[in-house]
Structure formats: C-alpha cells, structure tokens
A and B are shown apart, each in its own frame.
Chain A
Amino acid sequence: MKAVCWIAPNTVRVQQVPDPALLNPRDAIIRVTLTAICGSDLHLYDGYIPAMLPGDILGHEFVGEVVEVGREVNNLKIGDRVIVPFPISCGNCFFCRRDLWSLCDNSNPNAAMAEELWGYSPAGIYGYSQILGGYAGGQAEYVRVPFADAGPLKIPDGMSDEQVVLLTDVLPTGYQAAEFCDIRPGDSVAVWGCGPVGQAAIKSAALLGAERVIAIDRFEERLQMAREWSGAETLNYAEVDVIDALKELTGGRGPDACIDAAGMEAHDFGLEGVYDRAKQALCLETGRPHALRQAIIACRKGGVISVPGVYGSFIDKVPMGAAFNKGLTLRMGQTHVQRYLRPLLERIQRGEIDPSFIITHRMRLDDAPHGYEIFKHKQDECVKVVLRP
C-alpha cells in the first residue's frame, strides 16, 4: 500500500510499504477513505518531537471502512464506515473507565520510554513517535486499529467523510479546551492560535455560552474564519500588543479564561524569541511557549488557562509567579476524544456545527509532501488539509 512516511525533519515521502495485518484479537484493519494533516504533525515535521524513526508512517486523523476484524471485535463488521479517535485506548483500565481515554494505561508498547521522560505513560497515539507507541499512522491506504471494539464509532448513513473526519481530533480537542474553561454567563474567553484547533475551541466556547470570544493570530484569513464561523472578535498579534488589547477589551479585568491553541512552536518577534531559539539550538529547551506566557499574564485573577496546544518536554520562563499569585487553574492534555464523539456527532447532525467549514485544501495522498509544506508555511490561505488515499 501507499503511506506517508516521516523521513527526516521537513521531509515526508509517500512510499510503498507492506499492508498492515491483524496483530491482536481486538484489532481491525481499516481502509482509509479520508485522512487529515494536523498541527500536531507539524511538530513532527519540524523535528520538535524526538524519537521519530525514518520510515515511521504518519497520521492520527482518519476515517474509513472496516475490511478485517480480529476475533474479539464483535461490534464492527466488514464494510462499516468508522470514525477512529486518535488516542489508542483499551476501554477497561482505571483511566478509560473514568473517561480519561488519552491516558489509557495499556496501549503504549513503549511505555518505559514515556516513563523515563514523564514519570508515567499516556495512551499510544497513531503515527506520533516512538515515545507514544511507535504505531503506524493513518495517512495511508490502510491502517491497523487496536482495541477496535472500544474506540471507533460508526458513521451514520448519509454523513460524508468531510463532515466527520474532524471528529477524530480537532473538534473534540477544541471542545475539551473550551469545556476546561468552566464558562459562565458573562465570561470572555481569549484563544491564542486560529488554526483548526483554535477554530474549534472558538466555536465551542461560543456554543458553551461565552459572552465574548477573542481570537488571536497573525494570519488574516484565519482571523476572518474565526469572525465568520463563530462571531469572534479578533486581534492580530503582529499589529497590537496582545496583553494591553485584551485588558482594554475586557474593561481592565482580563479574559476569564485563556486557551493556548498555538502550542510549543508559537511565534514571537521580540527578544524573548531570540533567547528561546538560542536555547533550542543548544538543545536546552524543546519549545517556544510564547502564547502560553502571554496567556498566563493576560488572564484575569482566578481564571483558567486551558492548553490544548501540544508540549513535548521542557520549556523555559513560564511565569509561574503570575500563575500562582493570580490563583490560576491550569488544565491541559491530549484530548479524551472517545468522551466527546457521540455528543459532538449529534451536534453536527443537528446542524449546530459543521466542522468541514475548516477544511480549505483537498488533495490526493500522493500530494502529502506539498500539503505538509503549505500547511507548515500557512501558504495559499491553508488552514486544514485533507488527503484522499
């Protein structure tokens, strides 16, 4: 089959590889009908997540059709169309039972590696480095899905792949980020980053009752999408001082909650950026937490910092003093996609959200290298690329 393989930083290649096979009784094999490139994949593409091996198959956002099932998979049959959540989760452990699916105890074959770095291991993730299991991903014609009896959800008849593909990650991720904010009447929520995850968080914050949502980015087309799709107010951080502007917009109080949907590769133009780049070059730091720093400073006292943006290992100069003295709550993590699948699918069916609005580029799997490049550089007003194998 064909698959998108990580070769080296800034190089992915579509290669012929062997077809996947069932390896465990709870596995299924899916023929991928639509897959997407995620901002998280850019961290791999850019070389920010260590422990990628040349030849690793990428991709954790995919939907498709069941072509083979293991002997313990009784809920799916050949021909079923399914949405596959990006965390690989057993459904039976302490964490899965408490709806903390991305923290599953039993799905990372390389758990010892993760324990070395983080103390304990989260769930495995498709196509997301050796540390998170080294699983072959779904930017391919076929993919093996472990615990197929616990995670995947059947796609109701009449729904298109484009309507549901963002349920594998982006929409639940934005929704969880907004839910973390404990939004109450009158609340203002500020969102750093208007990529797909930011857009989903902005939309979700509005749906969950935020009085105002303030979206921050430097790409005009993304800010425009936030205004059009979710009625957000917008700030271009290349043009204004974000912290001052937020203070002003919120009557001097600060946003009640701040969402960092930019993650570890956030940009900065000032001196702070020079410091972080120098440290990264020396391998002392593995992220540039500019959005996070700003969010902590901007947030009102007693507010919430919600972090869907991914961080891998170490970051410097997090203003802990501000977080502590303002009594902030920090909430973060990979998304518990399985928890949100059904309720969000229903919202899509009721017409409350149409996540396909975020998709700007449709390509063949063969064009993945081009897709990665334009998504990385935000060229051609690219917000979200989907690939059809």
Chain B
Amino acid sequence: MASIEVRTAVTINRSPHDVYSAWRALENIPRFMRHIESISQAGERRSHWVARGPAGLRLSWDAEIVADQEGELIAWRSLPGADVENHGLVRFKPAPGDRGTEVHALIRYRLPGGVLGQALGNVFNQGAGRLIQGDLRRFKQLMEAGEISTTEGQPSGRQREREHGR
C-alpha cells in the first residue's frame, strides 16, 4: 500500500482562536476543501466524510478526532473501513509581529490496492500537495476576506450571449 505525506503551511491574519474555531466547526470544511462533498457529525469526536474522487468515484470514511487543544491543534484519523485511510494534524500558532496565525498541516494518506488505489495514486502523485495548498488558500480567503475569490460564472467572449440588456 502506497502512502503519501503532505506538509504545508499558510499564515492567516486572524487570531489562533478564530482560526482554530473555524476549522473545528466541521461544517465549514466543504466550503474550502474542493473535493469534500459533505461531512456529518456523528458525536462529539466522530464524523462521516464523503469526498469526490477521480472519474466520478465517491469515497467515504468515518473519522475520529484524536487530539483537540483549543487554539492550538487538531488531529484526526480515519476509522477502519475507510476508502482512503488518512490521518492528519493541524497546528495553529501565533505568527510573529502581529501577523495572525500560522497554520501548519501534516496529512498522511494510505492508498488502497487495486484499481481504486491506482486511480487515486495518479491523482495524488500529480499533486496532493497542490490540492491541500489550494484548500488552505481558500480557508485563508474565507477567514480574511469572508469569501472565496472566483470568476466562475463571469462573462467572456467565449460564451454566446444568453440574454441581452439589463
């Protein structure tokens, strides 16, 4: 079984408390993690995750929070039976000189065997790091700007005019 590790960091111009709380409130996560379709809470420390995988595949797993220190860190791991085994640690620490909070993420995936593992391996090898960085960037945008920057749905000369006039 192949395993993949991603480490990345971002600095967010908000207090460690704010950043931690936003992350801990799992319902925010699908807004900034592009591949996560839904998360449902199943108790104080347990949750059920559904993700969009390659080629329209849907992946799911149960996760459990294994460490939780207010304003400092959150760690989790998937429970047996996960489509993709994963565990991770996100640490929040004050950035120097009034720069907000450093978010350091460390995530490990263990890919299953077989066709699914191969398909996932292709995606992950092309840039699990990029994927996670994108997620953290969107998290930062939500925290700092209150919204995620986008151009999806804007006009261009590549579309035909739907309707004219305002």
- Residues of A that sit less than 8 Å from B by CB: 1, 3, 5, 7, 13, 15-21, 23-26, 31, 53-57, 67, 72, 88, 90-94, 97, 105-109, 111-112, 124, 133-136, 140, 142, 144, 146-147
What CA separation (Å) do A67 and B150 show in the bound complex? 20
Interface of chain A: mostly helix, strand, loop or mixed: loop
CB distance A17 to B157 under 8 Å?
yes
CB distance A112 to B130 under 8 Å?
yes
Given contacts A15-B157, A57-B157, contact A1 B150 (CB under 8 A): no
The 8 Å CB contact of A112, one of B134, B154, B164, is B134
A107 partner residues in chain B, CB cutoff 8 A: 145, 149
The 8 Å CB contact of A136, one of B100, B134, B155, B166, is B155
The 8 Å CB contact of A23, one of B133, B137, B153, B156, is B153
A-contact bits for B1-40, CB 8 A (1 contact / 0 none): 0000000000101000000000000000000000000000
In the A-B complex, the 10 residue pairs with the smallest Cβ-Cβ separation, listed nearest first, are: A5-B157, A55-B157, A55-B158, A90-B145, A106-B145, A17-B155, A18-B155, A24-B147, A15-B157, A55-B156
CB distance A5 to B156 under 8 Å?
yes
Given contacts A97-B13, A109-B149, contact A17 B166 (CB under 8 A): no
Interface residues of B in 71-99 (CB under 8 A from A): 99
- Specify the chain A residue showing the minimal Cβ separation from B159: A18
A20 partner residues in chain B, CB cutoff 8 A: 154-155
Given contacts A26-B147, A94-B100, A112-B130, contact A1 B164 (CB under 8 A): yes
B164 partner residues in chain A, CB cutoff 8 A: 1, 16, 19
What CA separation (Å) do A31 and B165 show in the bound complex? 12
A21 partner residues in chain B, CB cutoff 8 A: 153-154
CB distance A56 to B166 under 8 Å?
no
A94 partner residues in chain B, CB cutoff 8 A: 11, 13, 99-100
The 8 Å CB contact of A19, one of B13, B148, B149, B155, is B155
Task: Tell me the minimal C-beta distance from B2 to chain A in angstroms.
Answer: 24
B148 partner residues in chain A, CB cutoff 8 A: 24
The 8 Å CB contact of B158, one of A54, A93, A109, is A54
Given contacts A13-B157, A57-B157, contact A111 B146 (CB under 8 A): no
CB distance B151 to A136 under 8 Å?
yes
CB distance B147 to A17 under 8 Å?
no
A-B contact pairs, 18 of them (CB 8 A): A1-B166, A5-B157, A18-B159, A19-B165, A23-B151, A23-B153, A26-B147, A53-B156, A56-B157, A93-B13, A94-B13, A106-B140, A107-B145, A109-B151, A133-B151, A134-B151, A135-B151, A136-B151
Task: Tell me the minimal C-beta distance from A94 to chain B in angstroms.
Answer: 5
Given contacts A94-B100, A135-B154, contact A17 B159 (CB under 8 A): yes
CB distance A19 to B166 under 8 Å?
yes
CB distance A23 to B150 under 8 Å?
yes
What CA separation (Å) do A91 and B144 show in the bound complex? 9
B130 partner residues in chain A, CB cutoff 8 A: 112
CB distance A57 to B155 under 8 Å?
yes
CB distance B157 to A7 under 8 Å?
yes
A88 partner residues in chain B, CB cutoff 8 A: 149
A108 partner residues in chain B, CB cutoff 8 A: 149
CB distance B146 to A18 under 8 Å?
no
- Specify the chain A residue showing the minimal Cβ separation from B147: A24
CB distance A56 to B100 under 8 Å?
no
A57 partner residues in chain B, CB cutoff 8 A: 155-157
Given contacts A1-B166, A15-B157, contact A25 B13 (CB under 8 A): no
A15 partner residues in chain B, CB cutoff 8 A: 157
What CA separation (Å) do A6 and B156 show in the bound complex? 10
CB distance B145 to A144 under 8 Å?
no
CB distance B151 to A105 under 8 Å?
no
New A-B contacts (20) at CB < 8 Å, excluding given A136-B156, A146-B149: A1-B164, A13-B157, A17-B156, A20-B154, A23-B153, A24-B150, A25-B147, A53-B158, A55-B158, A56-B156, A56-B157, A57-B157, A72-B146, A90-B144, A92-B13, A92-B145, A93-B144, A94-B100, A106-B141, A136-B154
